[in-house]
Amino acid sequence: MVRAVLGADPVASCMVSARVELAGLDPWRLGGELWAADYRGTRGGRLPGLCFSGPNLIPLRGNAAALRSFADRALRKQRVCSSLVGPAEQVLGLWDELAGEWGPAREVREDQPLMAMEGRPAVDPDPLVRPVRPHELERYLPAAIAMFIEEVGVDPRAGDGGVSYRARVAELIAGGRAFARFEDGEVVFKAEIGALSRSVGQIQGVWVRPDRRGHGLGTSGTAAVVSHLVNGLGRTASLYVNSFNSPALAAYRRIGFSQVGRYATVLF
């Protein structure tokens, strides 16, 4: 039943599907827990709710009763997730249940178009964008940190001096999922494939060095990552973006993305 929920909307569930396909349902290997709402009495045994609880809290499906049950479970212990993210209706409904105890949030992003595409990019991919090599970690890392601060609003090095974030970036590089354009040894464009399921790859961390913005590097660079996903890996390319980021939305539409859903994120 869990896999049926994940398969019903492979783009929206990519972050969780990628974990389940790799690790199964065992919490230790999964890096978190999958919470299912009580399905007894539902038509066809269909799960009325499913939520992943780990580094992020990701509700994928949930009616009002299911979201209340997820909130009750989350409130039994101290909050450990850094964000609440996923389909907007579920995220905002769950946040209504949690805000009294977990609030105020650092930021609530209520409208994040979820976009996807399956065909070739409509713009030419940048031929200089390529996978980052393991020995280039130290040159890539400053750009990754700058992107994170700009996008999330906090320094990923806080707390442990950047050890865990550096390890995560190194893992992406080792898996061939970090991409960049280097000029004179410095990153001027970067993006990553954050979650990769059997059918979908979710692009994240798109960033252009400030002095190179407005020249199309973000569009052609993202097109290169899309081409790798669609043509190279046979996946649907997806991403989500803040609705107020008009330049990014316009660029993604030029590439060939169309909106397939709506995400929301609550940042702590």
DSSP assignment of 18-38: HHHHHHTT-HHHHTSEEEE--
**Segment 142-154, tens digit of pLDDT:** 999 999 999 999 9
* pLDDT over 80 (residue 45): no
Q: Model-level pTM?
A: 0.93
**The pLDDT of residue 2:** 85
pLDDT band at 39 (very low <50, low <70, confident <90, very high): low
Q: Range with the lowest mean pLDDT among 20-24, 25-29, 240-244?
A: 25-29
pLDDT score recorded for residue 163: 97
Is the per-residue pLDDT at 165 higher than 90?
yes
CA dihedral 255, 259, 261, 267 (to 10 degrees): 60
CA distance 67 to 97: 8
Asked whether the predicted pLDDT for residue 87 surpasses 70, the reply is yes
Segment 1-29 mean pLDDT? 91
pLDDT of residue 5: 87
Q: Is the pLDDT of residue 38 over 90?
A: no
* More confident site: 29 or 230: 230
Interval 97-115: pLDDT, tens? 999 999 999 999 999 999 9
Residue 203's pLDDT is: 98
Report how far residue 50's alpha carbon sits from residue 47's, in angstroms, rounded to the nearest whole number.
Answer: 7
pLDDT per position as a tens digit, 195-251: 999 999 999 999 999 999 999 999 999 999 999 999 999 999 999 999 999 999 999
- Using DSSP bridges, classify how beta strands 186-196 and 33-36 pair: parallel, antiparallel or unpaired: unpaired
Tell me the Ramachandran region of residue 237: left when phi exceeds 0, alpha when psi lies from -120 to 50, beta otherwise.
Answer: beta
51-68: average pLDDT? 95
Confidence of residue 118 (pLDDT cuts 50, 70, 90): very high
Gap between the Cα atoms of 35 and 247, Å rounded: 37
pLDDT band at residue 37 under the 50/70/90 scheme: confident
The pLDDT of 147-162, averaged and rounded, is 94
Q: Considering only 38-42, 139-143, 184-188, 189-193, which range has the smallest mean pLDDT?
A: 38-42
Which two structure tokens, joined as six digits, stand for 65?
């009763």
Buried b (16+ CB within 10 A) or exposed e, 173-210: beeebbbbbbeeeebbbbbbbbbbbeebbbbbbbbbbe
Q: CA 90, CA 204: separation in Å to the nearest integer?
A: 21
- pLDDT for res 44: 54
β-strands 49-53, 83-87 pairing: unpaired
Report, as an integer, the average pLDDT of 161-190: 97
Q: Which residues contact 30 (CB under 8 A, 6 or more apart)?
A: 19, 20, 23, 24, 54
- Average pLDDT estimate for 170-192: 98
Average pLDDT, the chain: 95
Q: Does 27 or 19 have the greater pLDDT score? A: 19
